[in-house]
Structure 1
Amino acid sequence: MAQSKVITNKSLVFKVTRRTPELITPAVSTPYEFKELSDIDDQEALRFHIPIILFYRNNNSSKSTVAGRQDPARVIKEAVAKALVPYYPFAGRLREKPGRKLVVECNGEGIIFIEADADVTLEEFGDIIQPPFPLKQLFYDVPGSTAFLDTPLLLFQVTRLKCGAFILALRLNHTVADAAGIVQFLNAMVELAHGAQTPSIQPVWERHLFNIPNSPRVILEQREYDELDSIKATITPLLEDIMVHKSFFFGPTEIAAIRRFIPPNQKATTIEILTACLWRSRTIALHPDPEDIVKFMCIVNFRTLANPPIPSGFYGNAFAVRVAISTAAELSTKPIAYALELVQKSKETATEEYIISIDELMVLKDNPNLISMVSNNYFLVSDVTRFGSDKLDFGWGSPLYAGLAKGGVGPIPGLSTFYMSVNNGKGNKGIVIPICLPENVMDLFVELNGLLYGVSKHMISSSSISSSL
């Protein structure tokens, strides 16, 4: 039985003092022009702001190229202004053309930057830094900034803690970049903060690469986008005001405990095993009709599949999904190996031809992904552990946590989750997975994970914060 690791992360109450929000514009003049987003960027399901957060320790004694400029707010503010020169569309505003086609007006108006101080220490966030976080304190909702159109595409808040550590929080309009794209921008900021004259990877717009031809060719079966009226599904809306957030930490000990339930001859990656286990437990906790169809959906980064390759430096949305499908009864009653096999087989669909046909279908069916995801029987997963966000060093070392600020982000609460790397430098290195579910469902989900994997409930973040935070 895996030893439990008590996580002391809890709902914190602390005071934050903010300076007046300001607009940071590109450090030098940039072109004025209109840039169209791609048909993939245009998806209805991406028309929201996504919160990202990074925690940094007090590491001023380290040898860094920012020595002598130890105020993190100043370092990051200057880096943003410099990075907005090559990435000048981020400093523009999103407009909508007839037919709801999105374009960026590159007008150099800038992004929102907020400098803040909090009367709390890093240690008070717990042994393992992980969601849920008190987002109202760490993401100031500047009045009028959360609208989808005609507002800044990025918001940064740097919050200095009283121990010398700091928190970098940012909010991104998801239509203009995906996870790989925003990490690319942040990495450019890191390089410029360390004295580089230009980023090592130059940004590439090229959104036309993901525009669907006038005569699209949908040639493969797309079970991700089955219409709800063609399948049996229990439609229980996952409402924002009844949701709670908890995080699940999986380090080497926890992963070894879970692997005991996998047949020795069934080879699998850690991500595959975690996905199979969470999908199965989540389905049981939701208690759907046994005959219901349940789906696991995984984000696929198209950058690695395209031929010819997508240019290095492309920072737009470049992804689709692959799918695993089962009845609720089979997934809930069969061993974990069954769920694992389905997850692994779904990789077979991740071919260039398949992804292209999915992208074309999204345009033909007027964004059917949003239509089909209203069932709580669907579970969308995105593995962002390989994008390098955990290595973004502005001069204070790598972040202790770098990833989504909460689970269940997006237009449909509770649908999605993200896998993120965490390392607090004290041996707590692993993967954090935030989950968002209704409270009664979450209670059972927590119990199932403890019983099924031989991992104590204390492996799970003890906090639960209303998603309204």
Structure 2
Amino acid sequence: MGFMVTRTSRSLVAPSSPTAAPAGETLPLSALDRVPGLRHLVLSLHVFDGADGKAGSPARVVREALGKALVDYYPFAGRFVTEEDTGETRVACTGEGAWFVEATAACTLEDVKHLDHPMAIPKEELLPEPAPDVPPLDMPLMVQVTEFSCGGFVVGLISVHTIADGLGAGQFINAVADYARGLPKPRVSPVWARDLVPDPPRMPAPPPKLELLDLHGLTVDFSPDHIAKTKADFFASTGQRCSAFDVCVAKTWQSRTRALRLAGGAFADGDSPVHVCFFANTRHLMLAGTGAGFYGNCFYPVTVTCGSREVAAGEVLDVVRAVRNAKAKLAGDVARWAVGGFAQDPYELRFTYDSLFVSDWTRLGFLEADYGWGPPAHVVPFSYHPFMAVAVIGAPPAPKVGARVMTMCVEEAHLPEFREQMNAFASSAGK
């Protein structure tokens, strides 16, 4: 059954009052903002029941609040530009505004299971179409608010990773939500301070090879009980604690590695190296105590490399230990990178099928954003690229609890075994 979504309004939302940006100013980006791989769109859907709280149109409330938030976060109202003499990307503080679309859906959120997987409405219907005459990668922010017949609504967000990492984007969205609830200013004041991010010398390197992969999706929910048991087993075995994130990364990496080995192909024999990479917040390490309010990119890619036999054949606790060991080296690795201590830049990632990239959406602030109707019942991220094997850790729709692992990380030949391995953990106490 199809559900019709009708876009009713399209316009730019400019800052609602004068900003601190001098006319014609362009802002330099940090060394991390300028990492070539970050010049891409980040897409997500945020589902709100809307049954309680304030009355009125959510689209109008969010639109008005967005204009207020853009006064504080005026770079989001600008445009990315490239300097002719240096080729450097900067943010022109034009004040032109973010792209904003209003829409209605001819159904209730219950009709579409609050966009639970598999989604009954294509994401393209709930995300904003690009603004005319502006390349999508030049506009930092696009928003669509779709109102459903039940009073609920979905906020569809498209942002360019160059202007903010996940924590920064969550901080901005919460600023919009603060204004929507009537606060006189955001609870967290924004800090630009891109010059505080280290810019170590780097060896010239060719652009990464982006080989397109034929990846297939799988979404699996891990219950709190199963995660808690693995955490308890790890503590009993090592005397150390681990997080739900550690468990999800370890089990997904192990399940994928087992699938690659058992389904034949290049990984079936021998002990080929496999890699998992995730991104650690480094505000406390890079910004000299001034990280509060910083919304730019400030992370470090933590990479774990092991033999495929070791990952596939051992217990999941062994894989958790490998993940924990890599995290323990974060401070030292960041310090080395900041002074140019690596021959190969750790931000020059390898996009090959033997590498799994994991993104954690549970602690970015999106699940707490409240526009006046309560926090979202569901947040659906879309962090997928055809050259990256990706797993995104999020939460299932309320009132379900636990962790939801959304993947686009295996080719068709490996999908059945990967599904079996992931479901075995989801439906049992784990190994």
2:81 is paired with a residue whose SS is strand
Q: Aligned to 1:409, which of 384, 387, 390?
A: 384
Q: CA deviation at 1:256?
A: 4.7
Contact in 1 for aligned 2:101/2:143 (Cα 8 Å) = yes
Q: Matched residues in 1 for 2:179 and 2:426: separation? A: 45
Q: CA deviation at 1:387?
A: 2.6
Percent identity for Structure 1 against Structure 2: 28
Aligned position for 1:321: 301
Aligned position for 2:73: 87
Runs of 4+ in 1 over 6 A off after TM superposition: 226-229
Answering whether residue 3 of structure 2 is matched by residue 14 of structure 1, we say yes
Q: CA deviation at 1:397?
A: 0.9
| Equivalence map 1:71-150=2 (5 Å) | 71-97=57-83, 98-126=85-113, 129=116, 134-142=122-130, 147=135, 149=137
Contact in 2 for aligned 1:261/1:336 (Cα 8 Å) = no
Q: Matched residues in 2 for 1:270 and 1:334: separation? A: 19
Contact in 1 for aligned 2:114/2:397 (Cα 8 Å) = no
Aligned position for 1:171: 158
Aligned position for 1:180: 167
Q: CA deviation at 1:191?
A: 1.3
Aligned position for 1:249: 221
Q: Matched residues in 2 for 1:249 and 1:274: separation? A: 10
Contact in 2 for aligned 1:82/1:192 (Cα 8 Å) = yes
Q: CA deviation at 1:359?
A: 5.7
TM-score, normalised to structure 2, is 0.86
Structure 2 stretches lacking a partner, 5+ long: none
Aligned position for 2:368: 391
Distance 1:248 1:315, change over 3 A: same
TM-score, normalised to structure 1, is 0.80
Contact in 1 for aligned 2:130/2:136 (Cα 8 Å) = no
Q: Matched residues in 1 for 2:207 and 2:229: separation? A: 37
Contact in 1 for aligned 2:30/2:197 (Cα 8 Å) = yes
1:100 is paired with a residue whose SS is coil
Q: CA deviation at 1:131?
A: 6.8
Contact in 2 for aligned 1:257/1:454 (Cα 8 Å) = no
Answering whether residue 37 of structure 2 is matched by residue 45 of structure 1, we say yes
Distance 1:257 1:402, change over 3 A: same
Distance 1:41 1:343, change over 3 A: same
Q: Matched residues in 2 for 1:81 and 1:389: separation? A: 19
Aligned position for 2:272: 292
Answering whether residue 252 of structure 2 is matched by residue 278 of structure 1, we say yes
Q: Matched residues in 2 for 1:338 and 1:73: separation? A: 48
Q: Aligned to 1:441, which of 391, 401, 414?
A: 414
Distance 1:377 1:145, change over 3 A: farther
Q: Matched residues in 2 for 1:317 and 1:359: separation? A: 15
Aligned position for 1:467: none
1:38 is paired with a residue whose SS is coil
Answering whether residue 14 of structure 2 is matched by residue 34 of structure 1, we say no
Distance 1:253 1:363, change over 3 A: closer
Q: CA deviation at 1:261?
A: 7.3
Deviations 1:159-185 (A, max 9, x none): 111222110011001000011111111
Contact in 1 for aligned 2:13/2:66 (Cα 8 Å) = yes
Contact in 1 for aligned 2:223/2:426 (Cα 8 Å) = no
Aligned position for 1:55: 47
Q: Matched residues in 1 for 2:98 and 2:388: separation? A: 29
Distance 1:91 1:445, change over 3 A: same
Deviations 1:325-357 (A, max 9, x none): 101122112222221111111112110x42143
Answering whether residue 193 of structure 2 is matched by residue 206 of structure 1, we say yes
Q: Matched residues in 2 for 1:402 and 1:183: separation? A: 12
What letter corresponds to residue 408 of structure 2 in structure 1? Answer: C
Q: Matched residues in 1 for 2:384 and 2:80: separation? A: 21
What letter corresponds to residue 147 of structure 2 in structure 1? Answer: R
Q: CA deviation at 1:364?
A: 8.0
Contact in 1 for aligned 2:10/2:99 (Cα 8 Å) = yes
1:75 is paired with a residue whose SS is helix
| Equivalence map 1:359-398=2 (5 Å) | 369-370=347-348, 372-398=349-375
Q: Matched residues in 2 for 1:270 and 1:263: separation? A: 13
Q: Matched residues in 1 for 2:357 and 2:341: separation? A: 17
2:71 is paired with a residue whose SS is coil
Q: Matched residues in 2 for 1:254 and 1:51: separation? A: 30
Contact in 2 for aligned 1:257/1:453 (Cα 8 Å) = no
Deviations 1:132-175 (A, max 9, x none): 662111113326578355x3210100011122211001100100
Q: Matched residues in 1 for 2:373 and 2:117: separation? A: 19
Distance 1:259 1:166, change over 3 A: same
Q: Give the CA RMSD over aligned residues.
A: 3.1
Contact in 1 for aligned 2:357/2:389 (Cα 8 Å) = yes
What letter corresponds to residue 354 of structure 2 in structure 1? Answer: N
Contact in 1 for aligned 2:82/2:88 (Cα 8 Å) = yes
Q: Using CA pairs under 8 Å that are at least 6 residues apart, name the structure with larger relative contact order, 1 or 2.
A: 1
Q: CA deviation at 1:274?
A: 1.6
Deviations 1:256-299 (A, max 9, x none): 56568758324432221121111011122233433321111121
Q: Matched residues in 1 for 2:236 and 2:412: separation? A: 36
